[in-house]
Amino acid sequence: MPVRVIGLSGSPHRHGNTERLLDAFLAGAEEGGGDVEKVVLKDLSYTPCRGCNACHKTGECIVRDDAIPLFDRILSSDCLAVASPIYSMGITAELKGLIDRAQFLWARKFILKTMYFSDDHVRRHKGIFISTAGLSWDNVFDAAFPAVTAFFNTLGFEYYDNIIANNMDQYGGIQGHPTALAEARKKGLSVVGVIRKLKGDS
């Protein structure tokens, strides 16, 4: 059984610091034998959540756009890597917009109780948050973590690890960082091995 890895690139800036960090992670995952897919959110067409709450009754989102098939692909993945640069001390609009659109899955889980992830399922599904920031502040990623936690929780992924690099302004971009790209590649390789073992396919 292949280990399916999906990476969501939430930066509007193509091939910038964050997407390159995601690419390094995905390259490592592929090297480890993972079946890898990258999705560039800015190239998809989806609207923010309307807050109509129809999903609280039906478990379905009434807005039929690119977000819906993407959630199918995410739910059939073993590893979900979510990448966003820090914008105004949080995640980008592209990523937050998608996270909010998962509300119909949240409704299935917590209101309708038609969807359930066992502890074992969650343990076998790993979520990784990938981010870069311009500032050197230690707390620059802090506002991003809760939204990412909520996303992984709704989708049945264990929040497994962060791959984060601050101080991009001083480093002159991710290529100037001494360890981040190599660390991302190593973590991609490693997580696929961990998941394969958990799936009993070592």
Ligand X SMILES: Cc1cc2nc3c(=O)[nH]c(=O)nc-3n(C[C@H](O)[C@H](O)[C@H](O)COP(=O)(O)O)c2cc1C
The answer to whether 184 and 21 are in contact (CB under 8 A) is: yes
CA distances to 25, 46, 129, 142, 173 from 94, rounded to whole Å, are: 20, 9, 15, 18, 21
User: In the set 86, 91, 128, 180, which binds ligand X (CB under 6 A)?
Assistant: 86
Among positions 123-162, residues that touch ligand X (CB under 6 A) are 132-135, 140
Residue 18 sits in the site that holds ligand X (CB under 6 A):
yes
The answer to whether 22 and 81 are in contact (CB under 8 A) is: yes
User: In the set 163, 168, 180, 192, which binds ligand X (CB under 6 A)?
Assistant: 168
Q: With CA atoms as reference, report the closest residue to 151 among 41, 31, 32, 23.
A: 41
Residue 184 sits in the site that holds ligand X (CB under 6 A):
no
Residue 14 sits in the site that holds ligand X (CB under 6 A):
no
The answer to whether 127 and 82 are in contact (CB under 8 A) is: yes
Residue 44 sits in the site that holds ligand X (CB under 6 A):
no
Tell me the site size for ligand X, rule CB under 6 A.
17
Question: Rounded distance, CA 72 to CA 66, Å?
Answer: 11
Name the 3-class secondary structure at 6. strand
Residue 19 sits in the site that holds ligand X (CB under 6 A):
yes
Closer to ligand X by Cβ: residue 107 or 148:
148
User: In the set 1, 72, 76, 88, which binds ligand X (CB under 6 A)?
Assistant: 88
Q: What's the one-letter identity of residue 156?
A: G
Q: Which stretch binds ligand X (CB under 6 A): 16-24, 29-37, 47-55, 187-195?
A: 16-24
User: In the set 3, 5, 6, 17, which binds ligand X (CB under 6 A)?
Assistant: 17
Q: What's the one-letter identity of residue 101?
A: R
Question: For binding to ligand X (CB under 6 A), which residues are involved?
Answer: 11, 13, 16-19, 85-89, 132-135, 140, 168
